């Protein structure tokens, strides 16, 4: 008897279920399109900075260009998918106002706590886009002078002439004096070559033509 009642309820609400499903699919398609479209625009805005590393080591260039292209897309998709999730929950009849307030409050708390780290990553992305420094460069940053031993979006590792390692948060890297650039290896790819654009198919065709 309970099974029959449940079946009747399901059949009577099939229109609501169908409308909810269509609404969820529509939200997913729209936000996926927005992520793709805005991502393409962001990549086009970043394209003038891509070729600034033409004389760098190919491995560094590949890492740098991948980070320049992927980092904004990751941030963008995280924001868009968060909004899409809230709208999907609303489509299922959940109250989104309390949920939105809760998400906003948690975001503010985490944002305030992680603000220095966000500043590190933001400044790191700017340094990366301008090709300010790279591993192997000898630079002076404030009172610190040395060779860049390691670099990430969050911090810069400098090895000074005495052998001491200085780890600087990227938010502290403002005034940079580049004393010398890292020498590219002799077998480096020609200027303007994009390692990420070289696919196995193109490499195979190059061998055939040779």
Position with higher pLDDT, 13 vs 122: 122
- Contact call for residues 160 and 143 (beta carbons, < 8 A): no
* Share of residues in the chain with pLDDT > 70 (%): 80
Instruction: Give per-residue pLDDT as tens, 107-130.
Output: 788 777 788 899 999 999 999 998
Q: Tokens 């070729």 belong to which residue?
A: 51
**What confidence tier does 166 reach under pLDDT thresholds 50, 70, 90?**
very high
CB-based contacts of 77, cutoff 8 Å, min separation 6: 35, 39
Count other C-beta atoms under 10 Å from residue 194's C-beta.
15
User: Could you give all domains of the chain from N- to C-terminal order, each with its CATH number?
Assistant: 2-113 (no CATH), 138-180 (2.30.30.60)
Q: What are the pLDDT digits (tens) for 38-55?
A: 988 888 888 888 888 878
- pLDDT tens, position by position, 78-112: 889 988 988 888 888 777 777 777 777 887 887 77
pLDDT at 17 over 70: yes
Tell me how crowded residue 104 is: count the other CB atoms within 10 A of its CB: 10
Mean local confidence (pLDDT), 1-17: 64
The whole-number average pLDDT for the span 51-68 is 85
Q: How far apart are CA 104 and CA 83, in angstroms?
A: 11
- pLDDT-derived band at 7, boundaries 50, 70, 90: low
List pLDDT tens digits, range 190-208: 433 333 443 344 344 444 4
pLDDT of 189 > 80? The answer is no
Distance separating alpha carbons of residues 93 and 204, to the nearest angstrom: 54
- pLDDT above 70 (res 185): no
Residue 6 pLDDT class (50, 70, 90 cuts): low
For residues 176-200, give the mean pLDDT: 58
d(CA 38, CA 140): 37
């Amino acid at each position: 008897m309970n099974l029959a009642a449940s079946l009747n309820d399901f059949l009577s609400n099939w229109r609501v279920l169908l409308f909810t499903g269509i609404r969820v699919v529509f939200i997913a398609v729209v936000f996926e399109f927005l992520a793709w479209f805005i991502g393409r625009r962001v990549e086009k805005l970043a394209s003038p900075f891509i070729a600034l590393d033409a004389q760098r080591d190919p491995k560094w260039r590949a890492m740098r260009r991948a980070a320049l292209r992927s980092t904004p897309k990751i941030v963008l998709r995280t924001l868009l998918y968060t909004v899409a999730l809230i709208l999907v929950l609303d489509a299922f009849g959940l109250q989104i106002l309390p949920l939105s307030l809760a998400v906003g409050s948690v975001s503010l708390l985490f944002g305030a706590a992680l603000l220095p780290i966000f500043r590190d990553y933001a400044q790191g992305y700017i340094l990366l886009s301008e090709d300010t420094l790279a591993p192997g460069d000898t630079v002076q940053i404030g009172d610190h002078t040395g060779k860049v031993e390691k670099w990430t979006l969050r911090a810069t590792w400098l090895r000074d002439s005495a052998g001491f390692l200085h780890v600087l948060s990227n938010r502290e890297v403002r005034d940079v004096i580049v004393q010398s650039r890292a020498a590219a290896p002799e077998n480096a790819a020609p200027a303007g070559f994009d390692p990420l654009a070289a696919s196995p198919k193109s490499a195979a065709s190059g061998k055939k033509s040779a």
